[in-house]
Structure 1
């Protein structure tokens, strides 16, 4: 191949990459419950310029592939199978990088019933699965081919709480890795604790940290957890009390110190029943959002330089039972998955004020639970 041809081909490849970037089309994945005709996992293409989602694929899985996680390489996707048998289940899929479409690879037991959350460490070698029904954490190695291996470690939690209907036994709800990848924080809705573990992602094992847990008010119900981009602060959904807790974090030991607790997320005049669900911080680290099921909206907070929260508003989400939601990596759009109205609604986000504006775009998806966007 002569030099002129090489230069021409290089220029064409460069133009192709530029065109793809300028098209504003990105890949999104939606996990669902196996209800009302849901096929399983849905793949969408998001057109950023138009602000619209178009379905590309529906991947068959009849066991409620509710929560999803992407491998850091972007080459693989993982789902919990919440409707699996008492031993639970988790599945791996390969990602076609050209189209975003999925192909099932393999499945493994999660060692507990009702797996509801999965996370993957930053090296892509270990997955952490939270079993809500089984009250346990399972640690699964990930092979070089992206497939899940048999679990190499697990932790069984135990206890009860003051809410006799919801805190009758351990309910592990999420496992969130710290930004340094050295610790994983495991929320148990029943014990009102965040259990803290040191991770060995090469061996796919965990052990209790020197300070093994942090506690919140009895009956709060820890659910999902997220870190501020600066790694100094962390935020916990308190599902049962519809509130949020704020912690500072010691990066050396992983220890959490509670600096705000029981911050209400509902409007003052709202008196009906409600449970909080998901929590996210915008890329700038200036705003925090938390979803409320019952009120059917997102609470909006500003984040101070000290990590503390100040509520600035509420945004109705144009659907029923908003579970998971996504702030896109550029901070321009918010996508809200509504479990009981079978839709995902799209909001434009004001990056200066944090406020949201409904775009009028609502995408039909049966029982959507989780929505994530592929790495670009």
Structure 2
């Protein structure tokens, strides 16, 4: 009788729970400026690197950048990027039990061509960067994960020396500082990192502009990654093909050194995404042609933040706009936008080097990846 009771309790407690350590992969795509299959959700096998498609969000336009909340409960996406009218930001509830997304709400993003989303370390605020009209918008995240109407929009007018790309301000991304007190926004058109304080009251938060940080002319600041230790930051410059290393100290970024991400000098550079391994030992950067589609691997000096080249690896496709590192550090996944494939690499934890696996995911125009282990 006692054995039967124990068995029933075991079934009751464990039988209805979802298996632990399930990993979900979220992929955002361009949809040719018309409603289409914008977001795909895959079940990712942590042992083999294989993926199984579980859900597709259809009839939505140009969901080209995704951002997952730290707890994985909510997914945020830009909507209607690269359109002639204001884009939007959508909030979704992640249903891990049924592996699908539930739309919570959608808000006007306050500008043209939303390109990047970032969430602060409290999970209460979301920043959106609008590329085409050089603007930055701030949203309050409600307790249920939905977005309030935008609370602030800042517009910038500026330019720099490459007239074909820097004729106006182009805000490409923004990051909250590790201490949560500052925002750094990266203006490709102006060759500037725009710096803000977060002015907080009991009811609201607002951005207040400080003195901008100038990058080298023609750099084209695009994406940025802070080191896990909070002491260093790294800027991927699209137009110069270089990575700038900075020391971070209480709202200041002090330039250390820059490094060519490409294997050789070219007339045109298209450096794109940048991420640091979970252990903080290695930095990864993607290069999108025209003659080189690679992931460049650097080793990070933990004392001074300087970089040492490890290798450059072909991405197995064209135009690696975005990539992601598995939370365990074991895999790196690259979204090759022009060849409609996501390539999975095994990542050596000791050397940082990448080995391509035969686990490609076929998906049209992938442009953004988020990955999360659900315990």
What's the TM-score once normalised by structure 2's chain length?
Answer: 0.92
1:281 to 246, 258, 276: 276
2:295 to 286, 289, 298: 298
Structure 1 SS opposite 2:111: coil
User: Which position in structure 2 is the counterpart of 1:309?
Assistant: 307
1:77 to 75, 78, 89: 75
User: Which position in structure 2 is the counterpart of 1:205?
Assistant: 206
After TM superposition, give the deviation of residue 100 of structure 1 in Å.
3.3
Runs of at least 5 residues in structure 1 that lack an aligned partner in the other structure: none
CA-based RMSD of the aligned residues comes to 2.3
2:255 to 254, 258, 280: 258
1:94-130 Cα deviation digits (max 9, x unpaired): 1113233101121111110000001111222211000
Q: How does 1:5-20 map to 2 (within 5 A)?
A: 9=9, 13=13, 20=19
C-alpha contact (below 8 Å) 1:285/1:303 kept by paired residues: yes
- Take 1:241 and 1:231, find their aligned partners in 2: how far apart are those partners? 26
Structure 2 SS opposite 1:191: coil
- Take 1:115 and 1:331, find their aligned partners in 2: how far apart are those partners? 29
1:34 aligns with 2:37: no
- Take 2:22 and 2:357, find their aligned partners in 1: how far apart are those partners? 17
Structure 1 SS opposite 2:285: strand
- Take 1:207 and 1:271, find their aligned partners in 2: how far apart are those partners? 38
User: Which position in structure 1 is the counterpart of 2:128?
Assistant: 129
1:273-293 Cα deviation digits (max 9, x unpaired): 431000001011111010000
Structure 2 SS opposite 1:163: coil
User: Which position in structure 2 is the counterpart of 1:371?
Assistant: 369
Structure 1 runs of 4+ off > 4 angstroms? 4-8, 14-17
Sort the Cα spacing of 1:213 and 1:14 in 2 relative to 1 into closer, same or farther, 3 A.
farther
User: Which position in structure 1 is the counterpart of 2:222?
Assistant: 223
C-alpha contact (below 8 Å) 2:327/2:372 kept by paired residues: no
After TM superposition, give the deviation of residue 25 of structure 1 in Å.
3.6
C-alpha contact (below 8 Å) 2:91/2:145 kept by paired residues: yes
C-alpha contact (below 8 Å) 1:287/1:302 kept by paired residues: yes
What's the TM-score once normalised by structure 1's chain length?
Answer: 0.91
Greater mean alpha carbon deviation, residues 150-159 or residues 96-105: 96-105
Runs of at least 5 residues in structure 2 that lack an aligned partner in the other structure: none
Sort the Cα spacing of 1:145 and 1:316 in 2 relative to 1 into closer, same or farther, 3 A.
same
- Take 1:125 and 1:375, find their aligned partners in 2: how far apart are those partners? 22
After TM superposition, give the deviation of residue 267 of structure 1 in Å.
1.2
